[in-house]
Amino acid sequence: MAKYTELAQDIIAHVGGKENINSLKHCVTRLRFDLKDESKADTDYLKQRDGVVTVVKAGGQYQVVIGNHVPDVYEEVVKVGGLAAGGSLDIDEGDGPKGNLFDRFVDLVSGIFQPFLGPLAAAGIIKGLVAIMGSSLGMTADNSALYVILNAAGDGFFQFLPLLIALTAARKFRMNEFTALAIGAALVYPTLPGSIAVLQEAGLDKVLGIPFALPSSGSYLSTVMPAILAVWVASLIEKQMKKITPDVVKVFVVPFVVILVTVPLTFLVVGPVANFASDALSGAFQAIQNFSPILYGAVLGFSWQILVMFGLHWAIVPLAIVDVATNGFSTILSPAGLPNFTQTGVLLAIMLKTKEQKVKSLAMPAFVSSIFGVTEPAIYGITLPMKTPFYISCVVSAVIGALMQMFNVGSYSIGGMGVFQYPAMVDPATGDTSKMMIAIGLTVVAIVASFAIQMLVPVPNLFGEAPAEAPVKKPSAEAVAPVAAVEASSTTEVSPILASPLTGDVVALADVKDPVFSSGAMGQGVAVEPSVGEVLAPANATVSLLFPTNHAIGLQLDNGAELLIHIGMDTVELDGKGFTAHVKQGDRVTLGQPLVSFDIEAIKAAGFPVTTPIIVTNTADFASVTATTAGAVQAGHDLLEIVK
């Protein structure tokens, strides 16, 4: 039996068995599990198990902290658990996060939207700038080339959203990405709406008796759910085709069959179902408005953001367009005008309360976009995954929607979102601005109310960066065993003073926003918030560990100390981007020698802290490990005193 076989078997058994594992990867100190159901894991047992330092649940991962020898344990877990190369299980279709239907939906949508949230928010801000250019500067597509260019830059992302969703959904459902893109491209094929219109006029819009239909909006541009459903169906077909197709023709036969079957199914099933749901919703909302306009306002205000997520808001928009065209005024869409500002309010509170740097970096552009009426970055990136802020936004939107109907606030034209909707509320015949002023007042109420409620309740931890309670326990001998041991000379006196490998502000270990480090579970030490992106050798040593992504380095010092320098928090997720190693594992280094360079701004821009813990992982072998009391330090200056 290999050295870590028993430990690996025990870990697998107590995370719920290999059937509970979606995937596994590791960083320099911990195994990072993606579990189907975290409630099946015996966390208390694993925390007390020899060979395990602690357990951390963060960022959607179940992290089992091992220590310096995590690569060896990882290899054994992969072997014992029957994991495929790269740490992913060959799982059957249908495997995924467990829990209630809403939780599973949130996990699915968040996973699909997370990869492109930054560009999504950026496109939303550009759309706001284009709106300013039109409303304030009089620029249009007819008189300004700059307007046309920026409008394409902002609107193009949203128009062709099905393509981006197809790509990330393919990763979520584990199918060929380019096959999925081909299916997404079919959904947004530019001549499709015109062709269907011609066929409908000629009565030739049926295939096997099923109508070839598009959503109420007239196309699949800017839609979300059709692409997700199409790729999900395609993934099921692809999996079966791979099983039965000979390898010699698999490369083209599998995508051929997948595309050939999925695209017609999408148009012949998803389209009609979407139209049926849209018609049903339209009728339901009309009935509610006829019964009680105030109740209608509350229901539409509460459900608007949910309808937008499913693309079902088009059930209401045509009613408003007809109403304005017929009567010159409409209140049908007024309850849907201010939910974006309830997102603004909760986002502002989240930015003030959260301790997670990544949330702050995502929230700011989402906050700006929400003011312009673009809420997708806020909903998909922050409030929906956190759940509580999304609930707050919906409830406050219900109240505001009812008030909009109570005061008979409506629009004299259709167009404009966010702060650009107010001009449409001015009576063009009389110049009366009373309805606009009421809407502005309710906007303030929406922002303040949602902000205040969110300030009174806890902000959920989204990525696991905030400090959390973690047991402090002395690392076992196995947990701190070095990857490569180097005997210190018994005849040579080595200084107990360790120089700083970094230039920057000194941070107490207890203040590091990662419980594995802040609790002392990995050993004692200190952290530095670097101002210069370069790690220098803090003493004469041997490189005992260099993680493949270059974000962490282990040193065996001549005084017997085993040192871990971990650049940033969760920076393993960057997959080496922004890091350059100047040494390799096993190299002999001298005091002041460059070890690793890193791009501070790039790491921060990706949403990760650069706070760098410097840990003596075999603290138990020393009488004391004491950090400097200085507030800042230069590379090469005294940082730690390690007394035998």
Greatest Cα-to-Cα distance within the chain, rounded to the nearest angstrom: 97
**Crossing angle for the helix pair 161-173 and 101-113, to the nearest 10 degrees:** 120
- Beta strands 552-557 and 541-546 are antiparallel
Those residues whose C-beta lies under 8 Å from the C-beta of residue 114, and which sit 6 or more positions away, are 168, 380, 381
User: Residues 382, 387, 392, 398: is their CA dihedral positive or negative?
Assistant: positive
Cα distances from 223 to residues 115, 160, 331, 599, in angstroms, run 17, 8, 25, 37
Instruction: Report the candidate in 633, 396, 402 with the shortest Cα–Cα distance to residue 536.
Output: 633
Q: Which of 27, 316, 351, 526 is catalytic?
A: 27
- Say if residues 297 and 402 touch (Cβ distance below 8 Å): yes
Residue 98, exposed/middle/buried by CB under 10 A (0-12, 13-18, 19+)? middle
Give catalytic status of residue 27 as yes or no: yes
Cα–Cα dist 71/89, whole Å: 18
- Say if residues 580 and 550 touch (Cβ distance below 8 Å): yes
Write phi, then psi, for 65 (nearest 5 degrees).
Answer: -80, 125
- Say if residues 570 and 465 touch (Cβ distance below 8 Å): yes
Instruction: Report the candidate in 54, 78, 76, 56 with the shortest Cα–Cα distance to residue 66.
Output: 54
CB atoms within 10 A of CB 296: 22
Cα–Cα dist 449/452, whole Å: 5
Cα–Cα dist 344/450, whole Å: 8
Those residues whose C-beta lies under 8 Å from the C-beta of residue 600, and which sit 6 or more positions away, are 530, 531, 533, 610
- Beta strands 612-616 and 61-65 are unpaired
Tokens standing for residue 462? 């989204």
Instruction: Report the candidate in 591, 590, 605, 603 with the shortest Cα–Cα distance to residue 639.
Output: 591
Give 323-332 contacts, CB < 8 A, sequence gap 24+: 324/411, 324/412, 324/413, 324/414, 328/412, 329/410, 329/411, 329/412, 330/410, 330/411, 330/414, 331/293, 331/404, 331/405, 331/408, 331/409, 331/410, 332/289, 332/410
Instruction: Report the candidate in 358, 265, 282 with the shortest Cα–Cα distance to residue 316.
Output: 282
Tokens standing for residue 629? 């009391």
Instruction: Report the candidate in 404, 425, 407, 403 with the shortest Cα–Cα distance to residue 329.
Output: 425
User: Residues 560, 566, 572, 577: is their CA dihedral positive or negative?
Assistant: negative
E strand segments, 133-190: none
Cα–Cα dist 361/607, whole Å: 6
Enumerate the active-site residues: 27
